[in-house]
Structure 1
Amino acid sequence: MENIYHDYWEQELLYQFLKNDRCKKRAYICSPLSAVTDEEMVENIKIARAYMYYAMKKMGMNASAPHAYLPMLLCDKVPADRSIALQFGLELLEESDVLLICGNRISSGMSGEIAHAAYLKMPMMTFEESIYLEVQKNLTKQGYDKHSVHLDRENVLMGCSSPMAYLEKAGIF
């Protein structure tokens, strides 16, 4: 697999928002934030940023993941802060063209984002077989169209629960 991550990949990621390239599809990154330890949460923030960068570089999308940056401003453990962050995320999701469901588990926050995307009839993409089947099952249970979710087998890094091993091998973390 080609290494797209370099020493300054996070700075490059930030510049995607300064360009007004409305021709690119706007993707919302749906991945876990919550974790048992603070260290795991920080790792999830880094992973969300890595998913954003991958979507930008390899999938040609402008990708956003509010949970990759909002924890620097709001504390996920404070209910009022978490509520603000979740509401902001849903509003950002509404401005997106596609929901990218990353990783190999679905957190409670992700479930809300997936349900909101289904309500909006937004296309969704998963990258891991078990997540694909789980999302289809949940959409059917909730009365939504299970065909709105697609399995992308080409971008396997987006389905890794922790692309950090790949990033560490590349010398990024």
Structure 2
Amino acid sequence: MKLVYICSPLRGAIEENIKKAYRYCEYAAGCEVIPLAPHTIFTAYLDDTIREQREQGLKMGLELLKRCDEIWVCGDEISQGMQGEIDLASKLKIPTVYVLEHHIEEGLKIRQNSMALGVEDCLIGSNQQDYENKILVLNPEALISNCRTVENSLWIAYNGFGCTYGARGQAVYAKNLFDGRESRWERADFLGIVKPESLRKWLENTPIRNELAESLVMDHNKCEDIER
């Protein structure tokens, strides 16, 4: 199971925010990860209203973050302390998942679909299109068996001769949509360009923040509204 850092507000309504953090931990445990919310632990012996002790707590929390597999940003508010944790996660390439209040209130369990995307999630004929700046579905067969997960399914192509359909060179340089790591692939490793509806479901199951992905889903939703 993955060790997940629970990032949520503390300053202000401290008692209420600690109760919320407990609820976020309960939710995360229900999503089959191990939640770690340092601010629910440190407040037993550190006073967040005292500057020196608050700074000590923040520093200790950041050290724990370095040991976690992911960070889950919980709730609809991002405080100054949370932003520092998000920035460190970004610097260390620790995947960041955004768990909003509606996920919890509506019982929308994230990270439950562990099946990698396939050819049925690609636009028809898109394997004969150019790939640069497109979100691509990686063929699960290109990965070792224990890495064939939904998190490894989608990649943003940004360079390489293989991005151009019909080119002699086949290298495609792409960035993983979930965790941002970069890798070199062959064009044949990709099944095609992801369907907007499959991308939307992927984002619901693994809620991250990416401007390209969010704009594609937004455009798709607008087209659906017009058709209705």
CA-based RMSD of the aligned residues comes to 2.6
Higher RCO (C-alpha under 8 Å, 6+ residues apart): 1
Cα displacement (A) at 1:89: 0.3
Instruction: Find the counterpart in structure 2 of residue 67 from structure 1.
Output: 39
Q: Please state which structure has a larger fraction of its residues in helix.
A: 1
Instruction: Find the counterpart in structure 1 of residue 23 from structure 2.
Output: 50
Q: Secondary structure at the match of 1:74?
A: coil
Cα displacement (A) at 1:153: 3.0
Instruction: Find the counterpart in structure 2 of residue 31 from structure 1.
Output: 8
Instruction: Find the counterpart in structure 1 of residue 91 from structure 2.
Output: 119
Cα displacement (A) at 1:79: 1.2
User: Deviation per CA, 1:130-171, whole angstroms, max 9, x where unpaired?
Assistant: xxxxxxxxxxxxxxx99648x853599xxxxxxxxxxxxxxx
Q: 1:69 to 1:155 in 2, by over 3 A?
A: farther
Rg (Cα) greater in structure: 2
Q: Does 2:49 match 1:77?
A: yes
Q: TM-score, normalised by structure 1?
A: 0.59
Q: Secondary structure at the match of 1:89?
A: helix
Which amino acid counterpart does residue 52 of structure 1 have in structure 2? C
Q: Please state which structure has a larger fraction of its residues in strand.
A: 2
User: How far apart, CA to CA, are the structure 2 residues paired with 1:80 and 1:64?
Assistant: 23
Please identify runs of 4+ aligned residues in structure 1 that moved more than 2 A: 145-149, 151-156
User: How far apart, CA to CA, are the structure 2 residues paired with 1:117 and 1:96?
Assistant: 10
Instruction: Find the counterpart in structure 2 of residue 92 from structure 1.
Output: 64
Cα displacement (A) at 1:63: 0.6
Q: Number of residues paired by the alignment?
A: 112
Q: Secondary structure at the match of 1:104?
A: coil
Alignment gaps of 5+ in structure 2: 102-175, 181-201, 208-228
Kindly indicate whether the alpha-carbon contact (under 8 Å) linking 1:28 and 1:64 is maintained by their aligned counterparts in 2. Answer: yes
Which amino acid counterpart does residue 14 of structure 2 have in structure 1? M
Q: Secondary structure at the match of 1:122?
A: coil
